[in-house]
Amino acid sequence: MDSGSGVGVLDKAAMVLGALEAGPLTLAQLVTATHLARPTAHRLAVALEHHRLVARDMQGRFVLGPRLTELASAAGEDRLLAAANPVLIALRDHTGESAQLYRRQGDQRICVAAAERAMGLRDSIPVGATLSMLAGSAAQILLAWEEPDRLHRGLHGAQFTATVLSAVRRRGWSQSVGEREAGVASISAPVRGPSGRVIAAVSISGPIERMGRQPGRQHAAAVVTAANRLTEVLKRTEGI
């Protein structure tokens, strides 16, 4: 067993987080799992909840909090961006449409990498552009696999519905036609971190007149393949 770091409160907090890795726990179950005194376990869990390292589920049980996901995403961002450009270029060349990589940041999504179509009519989204989480196929991807309470909050004011997101989860990709911007269609697929959580969305976008009203029929397979390539890169580099 780990002898500890010598900083008792951090060692106990790490025990709480380690116990929650296996899934939601009531306070009584947390005490059993950590062998901490009940007041100590409660005090630490509530303090960790204040810092969003721990949260509560719908039954009031303690679960790992969203801050851990944010930190993990930040740790993987450099690897993701390093791998993204060649994958997006290949996707653009294969489909003939502009390709982007989006990450969620609060109530918005940010284009963190892009490969623009060289000429002709195109949907130009520069790196660093901030877009809404209420419309567009990438927004659908970044919301579809969220925890139920966060998913339903994200649907308030959205151009898509829970039924649409259910279909996205089932088939593994999304499409939008004129949803974010009139005349523009897009297709997106999820990039997953080593834990399996969706951390980004790969997209292509272009004019409806070229992509059609069902753009997924033509391009979904290529977008999913590109997203899966990035997921595999993150799996291979885990622990390096």
Domains annotated for the chain, with CATH where assigned, are 8-74 (1.10.10.10), 79-236 (3.30.450.40)
Whether 232 shows a pLDDT value over 60: the answer reads: yes
| Residues 112, 99: Cα–Cα separation, whole Å | 11
Do 178 and 123 meet the contact criterion of CB atoms below 8 Å apart? no
135-156 residue pLDDT tens: 999 999 999 999 888 899 999 9
Q: Which of 234, 1, 191 is nearest to 101 (CA)?
A: 191
Beta bridge partners of 110: 103, 130
Q: Which of 91, 81, 139, 138 is nearest to 115 (CA)?
A: 91
Task: Give the number of other CB atoms < 10 A from CB of residue 10.
Answer: 11
In terms of C-beta distances under 8 Å and separation of at least 24 residues, what long-range contacts does 68-73 make, across chains too? 68/17, 69/197, 72/193, 72/195, 72/197, 73/103, 73/193, 73/199
Backbone conformation region of residue 142, classed left if phi is above 0, alpha if psi is from -120 to 50, else beta: alpha
Provide the pLDDT for residue 71: 78
Whether 228 shows a pLDDT value over 80: the answer reads: yes
| Residues 147, 58: Cα–Cα separation, whole Å | 10
197-227 residue pLDDT tens: 899 999 999 999 989 889 899 999 999 999 9
Provide the pLDDT for residue 1: 44
The length of the chain is: 240
Q: Is 69 exposed, middle or buried (0-12, 13-18, 19+ CB in 10 A)?
A: middle
3-class DSSP assignment, residue 213: coil
Whether 239 shows a pLDDT value over 80: the answer reads: no
Do 143 and 108 meet the contact criterion of CB atoms below 8 Å apart? no
Whether 76 shows a pLDDT value over 70: the answer reads: no
Q: Which residue has the higher pLDDT, 69 or 201?
A: 201
Q: Rounded to two decimals, what is the model's pTM?
A: 0.68
88-124 residue pLDDT tens: 999 999 999 999 999 998 889 999 999 988 766 555 7
Whether 164 shows a pLDDT value over 80: the answer reads: yes
| Residues 41, 111: Cα–Cα separation, whole Å | 41
